[in-house]
Amino acid sequence: MTERHLLLRTLAGEQTERPPVWFMRQAGRYLPDYMKIKDKYSFFERVQNPDLAREITIMPVDQMGVDAAILFSDILVIAQSLGLQVDMIPGKGPVIETARTDAEVAALNVDATQDFFKYATPAIKSVKEGLNNRVPLIGFAGSPWTLLCYMVQGQGSKDFGEAKKFIINEPVRARLMLEKITDATIQYLKIQINAGCDVLQIFDSWGGILSPKMYSEFSLPYIERIVKSVKDEVPVILFAKGAWYALKELEATGAAALGLSWTTPASFAKKICKPETVFQGNLDPSILLAKPDAVALATKNMIDSFGSKRHIVNLGHGVLPQTSVDSAKAFVDTAKAYRY
Amino acid sequence: MTERHLLLRTLAGEQTERPPVWFMRQAGRYLPDYMKIKDKYSFFERVQNPDLAREITIMPVDQMGVDAAILFSDILVIAQSLGLQVDMIPGKGPVIETARTDAEVAALNVDATQDFFKYATPAIKSVKEGLNNRVPLIGFAGSPWTLLCYMVQGQGSKDFGEAKKFIINEPVRARLMLEKITDATIQYLKIQINAGCDVLQIFDSWGGILSPKMYSEFSLPYIERIVKSVKDEVPVILFAKGAWYALKELEATGAAALGLSWTTPASFAKKICKPETVFQGNLDPSILLAKPDAVALATKNMIDSFGSKRHIVNLGHGVLPQTSVDSAKAFVDTAKAYRY
């Protein structure tokens, strides 16, 4: 029974014998068998083809022994569903058709969401069938602010200066864009729930580059609306990278757990939030570049820092592509051997 | 008299009529007249030639009206003085010869510091002469951890994964390297003081990518040693980008002021630190990409957030190259028109 899974028990606030473990970007990137699939199929073929999505999503469950699967996909599918071209350029990252003018923002088409995501239901059902209830399946989406970053900047960036310039110079247009992204995201997450996802995670990957004041205006309200729309159906994990200053507000959304960056210590999060809050995280992904014994020690110390329950072991951001399987395994094994 | 300058009075804890203003990377980058010099001379010619250093350092005082000059240079000069080749590649950024092995770290030569920096005294004296005591001159250095990042990684990076891997896998070697960087930095800062710098700023630009635990091991102790070595001669401003979690420890070093990132709100810093602490910052540099009137409003709100004194107006990180002179000027003018 899905209800008995360690991750779901932890998200429900139950005392467990050890913390569950999974890690962001666990499907793909650093796994040799994934690299072979990557050489043969385009990124969006891997996302949309049910057999490939199934194989890639389940790979870390089989090979690493994690306690949850996370659907193989990308946050940028929402930019696609709204009508923008997205290309994954090897060695460069994503290139996104931009939406900045009044006409371009007006053209973003929320009505296309159901049709665009018709691939998602068979893909998710195929994953669920392959998992055969061994571990729960996490679905996900990016936060509206994080999507806007890419849709305005057109590519990855250190500072997303164009995106910030846009929201400051054109706040009305920015809010319309954020509303549209929010509407499409809620529809997409409901599709994920209906197809069988047991948990949802919202990635506010670029939340932490905003000042607290701008965060409260341009990111938080849209996350709130998303969480409120789905939290009664499945538990939601909210991960706002670097947004330590907004933990109290993020908790108030009703998310079942808050993901923490590695720069946000457990001691700080516990002081800010209610005693019943579940935290997820927060080993620095760069530590997984070190030797397995150093990884094991750092992982144990990190789990210790959270205390005896209400904790999902994870990294403080996605696993780095150059991570060795042995070091990633040391991370997972340490969590699985841990006993409260 | 230098003692009467607004910046020095603020650093001494005096109540002033308005906050002083300068901004990180104010010399260079976005100024059209700087770009003309840049086309004619290499980066290190601009740093080492007294006439060029003088012209570039003073340019923002003349053109923007800032309340302090900061010596035109780069934190990577310490990597050079220790014996590593540094090249500034247009469009790519710095490329640094790496030091990772035992032999490479042993070869880093602190004894070469005085000889390497023999260009600095005439350059600083030339700047001081050109300033003619209109505003004080700020000298600077990078933190040892930030220098190690570049010396191990060999170039800029989003995560400095190689640098982190190095300190975790080879902590003894890393500490030796940090000690050597610290020794060279203290010598260089004393040269700056003796040549006439009125204030020093330490840039821990990559401090905030470390977890609090790693920060306390690999960055803080070396910053402490540097600040203690120079703080009785000139006031020190300590800017550890993103290291909000270490504010109390940074304050305890005896620095005269703490620089804040734009993600660290004044309200948080004031709660953590003593009432007499002086703060510097912290407008998001991306806001300077917006229109001048939006910049003016955001600057005013930022100054308001710090309250009525003990504040140096600055950005939360270096000005972005694509910033317009008009928007940068709106930032400076707003601070200069402000009255407590």
> Distance from B49 to chain A by nearest Cα, in Å?
32
B285 is a domain residue: no
Nearest-angstrom CA–CA distance, B11 and A333: 51
Nearest-angstrom CA–CA distance, A64 and B257: 48
> Distance from A164 to chain B by nearest Cα, in Å?
6
Between chains, do A164 and B286 touch, taking CB under 8 Å as contact? yes
Please give the residue of chain A at the shortest CA–CA distance from B316: A211
Q: Which residues of B touch A158 (CB under 8 A)?
A: 158
Q: Provide DSSP, B95-162.
A: EE----SHHHHHH--GGGHHHHGGGHHHHHHHHHHHHTTSS-EEEEEE-HHHHHHHHHHSB--SS-HH
Chain A residues contacting B, CB < 8 Å? 158-162, 164-165, 168-169, 208-214, 242, 244-245, 262-265, 268, 284-287, 289-291, 294, 298, 301, 316, 320, 322
The reported pLDDT for the residue numbered B90 is 84
Between chains, do A285 and B159 touch, taking CB under 8 Å as contact? yes
Which letter does DSSP use for residue A311 in this model?
E
Which letter does DSSP use for residue B21 in this model?
B
Q: Which residues of A touch B213 (CB under 8 A)?
A: 265, 301
> Distance from B273 to chain A by nearest Cα, in Å?
16
- Counted domains in chain A: 1
B204, B141 Cβ separation under 8 angstroms:
no
Between chains, do A164 and B287 touch, taking CB under 8 Å as contact? yes
Residues of chain A where predicted confidence (pLDDT) is lower than 70: 1-3
> Distance from B326 to chain A by nearest Cα, in Å?
15
Residues paired with residue B239 on neighbouring β-strands, in sequence order: B203, B259
CB pairs under 8 A between A and B: 95
Please give the residue of chain B at the shortest CA–CA distance from A157: B158
The reported pLDDT for the residue numbered A4 is 85
B24, B315 Cβ separation under 8 angstroms:
yes
B144 is a domain residue: yes
Q: Find, among B229, B216, B294, B281, the residue nearest to B255 by Cα.
A: B229
B234, B175 Cβ separation under 8 angstroms:
no
What Å distances lie between residue A148 and A84, A106, A165, B90, B130, CA to CA? 12, 14, 12, 29, 46
Between chains, do A211 and B262 touch, taking CB under 8 Å as contact? yes
CATH code of the domain containing B16: 3.20.20.210
Q: Find, among B114, B222, B209, the residue nearest to B158 by Cα.
A: B209
Q: Find, among B2, B10, B4, the residue nearest to B335 by Cα.
A: B10
Q: Provide DSSP, A62-122.
A: HHH--S-EE-S--TTHHHHHTT--EEEETTTEEEE----SHHHHHH--GGGHHHHGGGHHH
Residue-level pLDDT, tens digit, chain B, 340 residues = 445 899 999 999 999 999 999 999 998 889 999 999 999 999 999 999 999 999 999 999 999 999 999 999 999 999 999 999 999 998 889 999 999 999 999 999 999 999 999 999 999 999 999 999 999 999 999 999 999 999 999 999 989 999 999 999 999 999 999 999 999 999 999 999 999 999 999 999 999 999 999 999 999 999 999 999 999 999 999 999 999 999 999 999 999 999 999 999 999 999 999 999 999 999 999 999 999 999 999 999 999 999 978 999 999 999 999 999 999 999 999 999 999 9
User: Between A171-195 and A120-131, two packed helices, what is the crossing angle to 10 degrees?
Assistant: 40
Query: What residue type is A27 in one-letter code?
Result: A
B242 is a domain residue: yes
B316 is a domain residue: no
Task: Choose the closest CB to B161 out of A262, A263, A289.
Answer: A289
B88 is a domain residue: yes
How many residues are there in chain B? 340
B206 is a domain residue: yes
Between chains, do B289 and A214 touch, taking CB under 8 Å as contact? no
What Å distances lie between residue A54 and A122, A126, A188, A200, CA to CA? 10, 6, 19, 18
Please give the residue of chain A at the shortest CA–CA distance from B161: A286
The reported pLDDT for the residue numbered B4 is 85
Please give the residue of chain A at the shortest CA–CA distance from B297: A168
Where in the sequence is the domain holding A227, given as residue range(s)?
2-337
Please give the residue of chain B at the shortest CA–CA distance from A269: B245
Please give the residue of chain A at the shortest CA–CA distance from B282: A211
Q: Find, among B167, B157, B216, the residue nearest to A287 by Cα.
A: B167
What Å distances lie between residue A71 and A199, A225, A261, B166, CA to CA? 11, 22, 21, 33
Give the neighbor-by-neighbor strand order of the sheet with A199-204. A69-70, A137-142, A199-204, A236-240, A257-259, A278-283, A311-315
Q: Which residues of A touch B263 (CB under 8 A)?
A: 208-212, 242, 245
ipTM of the complex: 0.92
Q: Which of A167, A286, A291 to mutate to test the interface with B (most CBs of B within 10 A)?
A: A286
Task: Choose the closest CB to A169 out of B165, B263, B290.
Answer: B290
Task: Choose the closest CB to B265 out of A212, A268, A322.
Answer: A212
B291, A169 Cβ separation under 8 angstroms:
yes
Residues paired with residue B130 on neighbouring β-strands, in sequence order: none
> Distance from A134 to chain B by nearest Cα, in Å?
34
Chain centroid to CA B323: 19
What Rg value do the Cα atoms of chain A yield, rounded? Answer: 19
B298 is a domain residue: no
Q: What are phi and psi of A305, to 5 degrees?
A: -65, -20
Q: Find, among A238, A234, A236, A233, the residue nearest to A248 by Cα.
A: A238
Please give the residue of chain B at the shortest CA–CA distance from A160: B286
B70 is a domain residue: yes
